[in-house]
Amino acid sequence: MAEVHIRQLLSVDAENLCAMGQDWPFVGTEALSAGLVTRRTLRSRHEMVYRNIYLPKGQSPTPVTRAVAAWLWSGRNATVAGLSAAALHGSRWIDPRLPAELNRAEACSGSIVIHREQLCDDEIGVVRGIPVTTPARTAFDLGRRKGLNTAVIRLDALANATRLNPVDIEAVADRHRGSRGIVQLRQVLDLMDRGAESPQETRTRLLLVRAGLPKPQTQIVIRDRFGIPFARLDMGYEECKVGVEFDGAQHWTDPAQRTADIDRSAEVSALGWQIVRVSSDLLRHRPGVVVARTCAALRAAGCSWLGECGLDSRFLRENVA
C-alpha cells in the first residue's frame, strides 16, 4: 500500500507511524471502506495477522509490527506492554515468534497476551502515536518474570535502547510493593547494565559475577598515548587492565573485521592490557575456562583484590578442570 494510503487509514499520529515503514499493519475494513483495496486484493496480496488486521503477503511480522498489529486489533483501545512495549522503545534481540502483549481490561485473543495490570498515569507514554508502558514500567514488568538471566538480558537491552537507570525502575517498584516477582526484580536491578550490547555480553558478565568476581565495567574506552580513543572493550577491570571480549560470528567470518580486530588487539596489548576472548562455544560448554582465564589474567596483572573477592569454590570445582 502506498504511504499516502497508509496515512489515510490511521487516526493517531499517522506521520510518526509511517516512519516505521510502508509495509506495516492496517485494518482491513478501514482499507475497504476507503477504497484502497478490494476484497480480492485484500485476500490475494495480504495476510491476516489478527482478526481484521493485515500485513503484505510474504512479510514476516517483527516484534514492532506485531505490537502495532495487536494495538490495531484492540480497536486502538489498549496500552502496548511487556516485550511489545520494549520493542517499540527500541529494544533489540526480541524473538519475533513471541506473541504480542497488551494491557487492557476486556477482551482476549489466543494469539495475544492480555495483561490486566493497574497502570498509573505516569506509567503510560506514547511512542509514535501508540500508548505504551514507559521504559521504567516495562522494565518493572519484564524484570519480575521467571528466569533471572533472561530478565537481566531483557532489561540490559531495554536500558541500552532508552538509557534507563535502575533508580527509575526502583521508583515504580516502590509504588507497587508486594507485587509478584518483586524479590527477583531487586536482584535484576543489581545485575543489569545498559552497557551490554548483546545477550551474549550479558551472559558473559553474569558468568563472571556468578563465579564470585566483581561486576565488570562495560564499554571501556581505550585511549592511545596521546589520549585519543581508538578502541572500546565489551567489559573488564580497568584498574587491572584486564578486558573480556565476546567475539561473535562476524569477528571470524568477515575478513575485514578479523583484520581490524587483529590490529586493534595488537595496539591494546601494547598499552599493557590483557584480553580474555570468549566465544559462544566457550560460554555454553566450558564456562569455567572463561572464569579461569579471567582470574589468571587478573592474577598476572597483580590485581590486589583477587584473593578477597569471594570466588565461588563450588562453581570453580564444577566448571574448572
Half-sphere exposure of 171 (CA within 13 A, CB side): 12
Q: How many helices (H) and strands (E) does the chain have?
A: 16, 12
Tell me the pLDDT tens digit for each residue of 172-188. Answer: 999 999 999 999 999 99
Domain positions in the chain: 3-133, 139-191, 199-319
Q: Is the pLDDT of residue 7 over 50?
A: no
For residue 277, the cross-strand partners are 245
Other CB atoms within a 10 A radius of the CB of residue 7 amount to 12
Residue range 210-232, pLDDT digits in tens = 999 999 999 999 999 899 999 99
* pTM for the whole structure: 0.88
Cβ 117 vs Cβ 103: under 8 Å: yes
Instruction: Return the pLDDT at 263.
Output: 86
Chain segment 68-112, per-residue pLDDT in tens: 999 999 999 999 999 999 999 999 999 999 999 999 977 677 799
Instruction: Tell me the C-alpha distance between 220 and 307, whole Å.
Output: 24
- Beta-strand relationship, 100-103 and 112-115: parallel
CATH superfamily of 199-319: VSR Endonuclease (3.40.960.10)
Cell numbers 527500541 correspond to: 90
